[in-house]
Amino acid sequence: MNSQITKIPKLNFPEIYFNVYKLLQQDNNSVWLVGGAIRAMVLNQQVCDLDFLVSQNAILGAKRIANHLNGSFYILDKKRGVGRVLLHNQNNMSIDVSTIHPEGLETDLKNRDFTINAIAYNCKTKDLFDPTGGLQDLQKNTISITSKKSFINDPIRLLRAIRLAVDSNFVIDQNTKKAMRQNIITVNQTSPERVRDELIKCIDGADPSKAIALLTHMNILEKFIPDLNQSTGIGNYEQSVKQYKCLQDLLGVIFNTGNRDRAVQYKLGYFFSTIFQDKSKLQKYLLTNTSDKRTLTQIMALAVLLKTTLSKIDTKYNNYLKFSNNEVHMLKAMSSTADITDSIDNHNNYEQLRNYTAKSIHRYHKKHKNLGICIALISLSEIMAYYGTDLPHSIWEHSLHSLHIIIDAYFNKYHQIVDPPQLLNGNDLISEFQDIPGTTIGKILNLITEEQVSGQINNKSDAMKYAKQIYESEK
């Protein structure tokens, strides 16, 4: 064991590390820092999470950390002794505290996924213990499994290998690739929730398009989503991946993460000029958390990636990837891109397209609620994927004009067009007309709102006059 202990230059530990180490020492523990934090510091990257191994009282130690640092405490595995702390005031940094494997530290590290995650730092002696050659693989920019059983022990590592390789710009070594292909069949042993979460991490990574391309090339993704085994599904999926890449190009412009050479292309340059004034608002909107703690950007990416793989978006998504009902609803809505596509098909020139009415824009946002901008962006990616390099300038100009109108209404004219203040409500109509049916109430209120956004009705008196006209016509 001593031959595998390595002295290293001083690492740049986050300040929170020292506080946590002091708290874990209180039980006369041997304390080791392991996993991604070591990898990040060796590569001079930001440390996002901390993973500690202790000789005893891991769950008690995690609870003490949570109490001292005002974090949330969770027991991940009571039998094995694993606790987690989530620090909300530290960008949701997670701190895992685990009991060292009964057979010792070396066995613990060799049971981990990849060699670059199997390096341990002795918090007391400040030595690194590297039994699987992780430091060497870090120097070679290589992803290697710790043992032949790595993927058998946890098939989700098939996805994680791709994500780590893409995010770190590393290569997967040949033996690991061979093991991945040999163990693809084991993915059915993984819970859908873990697959879903790891897939979302791929989408949130440094190069989502590259990650999805690798998952497709390795035939991993089709194992997680069985319908991809059908020939028609695979054909559709290839088009879906193409559209996904186009969506990532658009998001790269919005979040300043795109390739600069691509940014000067006509399509993306024109797109940038279209969104420029509302860019910061658009960024904030797309990073909004849904009720399931995922961002609209993540749901958009999933919608594009998955919408053509199955015959329809339905409960199969709940079975395969355990999406919530709310997520399934959003995925369905984001698959409806006909509104913008039709607006292009039905207008022969740019001047005609300029004649969108406030009423039609209101109807669009009412139909799609807070997802209208997402659907517009997905529609643009669909157009880009369909035409490729042959995208006519007139169609692109038309589609970007549609996007501008949709964005402008949502961000700058919300209470004028999208959701104006209500002039009348159902009780007003019931008081006035006594026996009015509920369906008529809804129709009248909708028509009043449309006239309101068009500027034809501006006060309650005019709204009631208009309501009376509609009511009489309905009798």
364 — alpha (psi -120 to 50), left (phi > 0) or beta? alpha
* Positive/negative CA dihedral, 17, 36, 93, 206: positive
What would the pLDDT profile of 317-331 be if each residue is shown by its tens digit?
Answer: 555 567 777 887 888
- pLDDT exceeds cutoff 60 at 344: no
Are 205 and 212 within 8 A, CB to CB? no
Closest CA to 204 of 261, 248, 141, 263: 248
Distance CA 104, CA 452 (A): 73
Determine how β-strand 128-129 pairs with β-strand 120-122: antiparallel
Q: Tell me 122's DSSP state.
A: E
Cα–Cα distance list, 157 to 166, 186, 194, 225, 245 (Å):
14, 11, 10, 17, 24
Are 17 and 49 within 8 A, CB to CB? no
- Residue 279 is predicted with a pLDDT of 95
What would the pLDDT profile of 77-128 be if each residue is shown by its tens digit?
Answer: 888 899 999 987 766 789 999 999 999 999 999 999 999 999 999 999 998 9
- Residue 194 is predicted with a pLDDT of 83
Give the list of residues 6+ apart from residue 431 with CB closer than 8 angstroms, or none.
none
Determine how β-strand 31-34 pairs with β-strand 50-54: antiparallel
Q: What is the largest CA-CA distance in the chain?
A: 93
- Residue 219 is predicted with a pLDDT of 79
Are 74 and 84 within 8 A, CB to CB? yes
- Residue 208 is predicted with a pLDDT of 80
147-224: same fold as 2-140? no
Give the position of tokens 């709940």: 318
What would the pLDDT profile of 134-163 be if each residue is shown by its tens digit?
Answer: 999 999 999 999 999 999 999 999 999 999
- Residue 3 is predicted with a pLDDT of 39
Q: Which CATH superfamily is domain 2-140 in?
A: Beta Polymerase, domain 2 (3.30.460.10)
Element (H, E) at 71: none
Are 157 and 186 within 8 A, CB to CB? no
The residue type at 317: Y
Are 320 and 306 within 8 A, CB to CB? no
Q: What is the mean pLDDT of the chain?
A: 84
Tokens linked to 235: 């054909």
- Residue of higher predicted confidence among 219 and 428: 428
pLDDT above 90 coverage of the chain, percent: 49
Give the position of tokens 């002295």: 7
What would the pLDDT profile of 346-361 be if each residue is shown by its tens digit?
Answer: 433 334 444 578 898 9
- Beta strands (DSSP E) in 334-384 are none
Q: Give 421's pLDDT tier (boundaries 50, 70, 90).
A: very high
The mean pLDDT value for 216-227 works out to 72
Q: Give 233's pLDDT tier (boundaries 50, 70, 90).
A: very low
164 — alpha (psi -120 to 50), left (phi > 0) or beta? alpha
Q: Where are the domains of the chain?
A: 2-140, 147-224, 252-417, 426-474
Other Cβ atoms closer than 10 A to 109: 26
Length of the chain: 475
Task: Give the predicted TM-score (pTM) of the model.
Answer: 0.73
- Residue 224 is predicted with a pLDDT of 65
The mean pLDDT value for 418-446 works out to 91
Domain formed by 147-224, architecture? Orthogonal Bundle (1.10)
- Residue 229 is predicted with a pLDDT of 47
